[in-house]
Chain A
Amino acid sequence: MINRQLAPEFRAIDNISLIRPQHLPLDNGVNIFCFNSGDQELVRIEWIFSNLTFDPAKPLLNMAVNSMLTDGTKTLTAAQIADKIDFYGAFLQVDYGYENSQVTLYSLNKHLHHTLPVIADILNNSIFPEKELETFKRNQQQKLQVSLQKNDVVARRAFNRAVYGSTIFGYAAEMGDYQTLQQDDMLAHYKKMYQPANCTIVIAGKIESETLTLLTDTFDKSWPNTSEIGVTIQPDIKAAADLFYFTEKPEALQSAIRIGTPIINRSHADFQPLQVLNTVLGGYFGSRLMANIREDKGYTYGIGSGLASFKQVGSFFIATEVGADVCKLAVAEIEKEINMLKTELVPEEELSLVRNYMLGSLLGSLENVFSHADKFKSIYFAGLDYDYYDRYTTTVKNITSDKLIQLANTYFNFDQFYKVIVGKY
């Protein structure tokens, strides 16, 4: 008979090996990073550009220019771009982020000679047609109306505005902002941003020599810089003075809560230790916030905490949606959990679980070659190198409860946290 009460032996995770890219700088200033691995005959290629400085008078430019890259070039209409990409079974995405915006292509290798020219056209010849722009504005405004009915969205907007001030990080679009979008501004913005010298290409998948030749032929000699790059530095951030924001929704069944503070970013030596502290508090299913507020009290379907890290700023936040009648109680429990981290040592048994969980989670996040490329992007665009991951694993393995309590006292002051409630309080 087996003893079912006894857990099987297990091994701690020792080595986590990351695939590092081959770096290929091109004459026009593009840096290509290649991750060659995998059995499937396909690749993911990303063209990544730094955003231009945020202009509060024209706040949507970075986002709108990126979103409308697929809406027409000098020779292709939006419909023709979509037809070409879809016909070859490829996927074309544009993604706007606070710091960078990008174009992503997922394509089978055998169709790259058809799909890559479409990307080249988008990056060289986009025209942001008036008619498409009107459609874009109208549809975005309709979507915004729906989003603004969601308590968690309203809470996130208010929180970011408070923590990041009137910067690209704190900005949340209002209905009227869409009226500031003009085709001329977009064309000018596009020209100053989507240039080779402001572009990083990351390719991951099964990369054959023909693939690379095709890529460099399309994005080196035939892609010259045609304009000076605009300024890509974002101004300093000033967080708001007010700490408490309550939006009342009298009929709400649940209230959205978002609580947090500006904090150090990835480049600081305390960042990795803070990631451990964050995991203990709210970073996994068994975390203290989940164990208390969901699994013990049943106030919510889910609660978590996280760290956001950008080049010039970072933030720590707790987010949840709780029964409207228990909102105050939930906030009190959150406060209790924060304060417990400052007054009581994390027991060794809990800490060892978190260590193993975090290492397993890092290992598990490396699902395929795309994930290895993602790990690279996180450090590369933060100006860090692969030592970052060595320090991460070393920290996770060796951090002590003393260090955690010290961190909690340095960085967590509940009275000074921003608190946003949307619903009832």
Chain B
Amino acid sequence: MVKFNRFTLDNGLRVIVHEDNTTPMAVLNILYDVGARDEDPEQTGFAHLFEHLMFGGSVNIPVYDEPLQRVGGENNAFTSNDITNYYITLPSANLETAFWLESDRMLSLAFSEKSLEVQRNVVIEEFKQRYLNQPYGDVWLKLRPLVYKTHPYRWATIGKTIKHIEDAKIEDVKAFFKKHYNPQNAIMVVGGNVTTEQVKELSEKWFGAIPAGEKYLRDLPQEPEQTEARRETVTAKVPLNDVYIAFQMGARTDADYYAVELLSDVLSRGNSSRLYKSLIKEKQIFSEVHAYITGSLDKGMFVLEGKPLDGISIEQGEAALWEELEKIKAEEIPADELTKVQNKTESTMIFSEMSLLDKAMNLASFELLGDADLINHETAKYLAVSAAQVKEQANKLFRQDNSSTLIYLAEK
């Protein structure tokens, strides 16, 4: 059970307080309701580049990191296709420093040309390090546009191409800030050794006077249902072949979501999972095999991936994956197997309560989904899933005409 209090400032900023006096630390987490899906198709990678620029100084504070480190704090941020999330952890005695820093960059950035120039370079190096200079690093750059034809999920958060990052102008940065970085589009969670009264007072003091800004109304082109099997083959300098099969699935807020997640757990969570036991240990088809879901806010992806062993052809690998999928479509999973993945989900939830930062981020995510209190009802939703529902989802998802297959061939 994660307890919290909640209030909203006049300018629309939603604030959640989680009091936890077992720690001498505090966390301030701000989620901005903007991700790569909100980008212009001709300016992809912008939400993430912007995240970097948020550390380049704000209107009244020339540098962001230094004053925070000076009071014993640390921070970081991440951008996904759906959201951009910033967090600070610091000794709770110095909580006000976090309010000062975060409120000033919500008020306005410094918009320095030098910062833009340097962060463009840093992000280009990040692009190379994570996506281009790694074996299989560009898989997502290829798989996304295969699965999505309309929705902006068709590009990765890093962007479609380095060119889009090189072309970013300071005017674009300013416009993006105005559109997305205002109190109405943000959710703040303050947790740790703090009191609700104290957080109310500090929130009013530092965030209260920030203009509400305009509410961003999201109206994204939704992905139509897939009706044909898609396939692409690429050859690259990698040591092993790799097979990806992605299926379109529902959104994170769909009622079916819980059954689909358990379906992926049955297939691939841990060494007792079906794919691991059957395809790595028994049949010895793959050296590695995984199944996972993206958990996206709009229509998501259910992904299977496997690296076939030497001497196993791509066709054999694909056939082996489909055999497992057909099996789970045909037969309900036994009660014990369902209980197993449900138990695992339940204990994972309890273990995640050991981390203050995890709790703060989860509260923010659930508030974005509609209500922070969902965090306390998640487990029950997984426990309520039946074997019949898991089977139903398997049949709904695992169809050839809902599949996108990416074959990654090793150049010999």
> Which residue numbers of A lie inside 8 Å of B, CB to CB?
2, 4-5, 7-13, 38-42, 70, 78-79, 81-83, 85-91, 106, 108, 132, 135, 138-139, 142-143, 145-146, 148-151, 251-254, 284-286, 294-301, 321-323, 352-354, 356-357, 359-361, 363-364, 366-368, 370
Contact = CB atoms under 8 A, between A and B. Distances in A.
A353 B307 CA distance: 48
Given A39-B22, A367-B23, A360 B73 contact: yes
A136 B89 CA distance: 41
A139 B288 contact: yes
A139 B287 contact: yes
A85 B72 contact: no
10 contacts: A83-B272, A86-B343, A143-B287, A299-B121, A323-B128, A360-B71, A360-B90, A363-B72, A368-B23, A370-B354
Contacts of B376: none
Interface string B207-223: 00000000000000000
B350 interface: yes
Nearest to B121: A298
A357 B69 contact: yes
Range class of the B interface residue count: 35 or more
B41 interface: no
B65 A363 contact: no
B392 interface: no
A-B pairs with the 9 shortest C-beta distances? A360-B72, A298-B121, A89-B347, A82-B272, A82-B271, A89-B343, A145-B239, A142-B287, A4-B60
Interface string B72-93: 1110000000000000011101
Contacts of A360: 69, 71-74, 90-91, 94
B120 to A, nearest CB: 7
Contacts of A151: 133
Nearest to B93: A11
A253 B70 contact: no
Contacts of B346: 89
Nearest to A139: B287
Contacts of B107: 4
A298 B74 contact: no
A149 B347 CA distance: 37
Contacts of A139: 280, 287-288
B118 A295 contact: yes
B61 interface: yes
Q: Is the interface of A mostly helix, strand, loop or mixed?
A: mixed
B271 A145 contact: no
A364 B90 contact: yes
Contacts, number: 222
Interface of B is mostly: helix
Contacts of B24: 363, 366
Given A11-B93, A79-B281, A356-B70, A294 B25 contact: no
B121 A138 contact: no
Contacts of A83: 272, 340
B91 A13 contact: yes
Given A139-B287, A253-B128, A298-B125, A286 B270 contact: no
Interface of B: 22-25, 59-61, 65-67, 69-74, 89-91, 93-94, 96-97, 99-100, 103-104, 107, 117-126, 128-130, 132-136, 205-206, 237-240, 269-272, 276-277, 280-281, 284, 287-288, 307, 309-310, 336, 339-341, 343-348, 350-351, 353-357
Contacts of B103: 4
B133 A321 contact: yes
Given A108-B347, A352-B70, A8 B104 contact: no
Given A83-B340, A143-B288, A360-B71, A150 B134 contact: yes
Given A146-B307, A353-B69, A360-B73, 17 more contacts: A4-B59, A5-B61, A7-B67, A7-B97, A82-B272, A86-B269, A89-B344, A145-B240, A251-B237, A253-B128, A253-B133, A295-B118, A301-B129, A323-B125, A353-B66, A356-B69, A357-B73
A364 B89 contact: yes
A127 to B, nearest CB: 16
A322 B125 CA distance: 7
A129 to B, nearest CB: 11
A82 B90 CA distance: 39
A5 to B, nearest CB: 5
Given A251-B237, A364-B74, A4 B281 contact: no
B274 to A, nearest CB: 11
A79 B277 contact: yes
Contacts of A298: 117-122, 124-125
Contact of A285 (B69, B70, B91): B69
B305 to A, nearest CB: 13
Contact of B344 (A7, A70, A86, A142): A86
B272 A86 contact: yes
B66 A286 contact: yes
A288 to B, nearest CB: 13
B353 A40 contact: yes
A363 B91 contact: yes
B107 to A, nearest CB: 8
Nearest to B352: A40
B71 A356 contact: yes
A253 B72 contact: no
B18 to A, nearest CB: 14
Contacts of B347: 42, 89-91, 106, 108
Contacts of A354: 69
Contact of A38 (B93, B276, B277, B354): B354
B74 A361 contact: yes
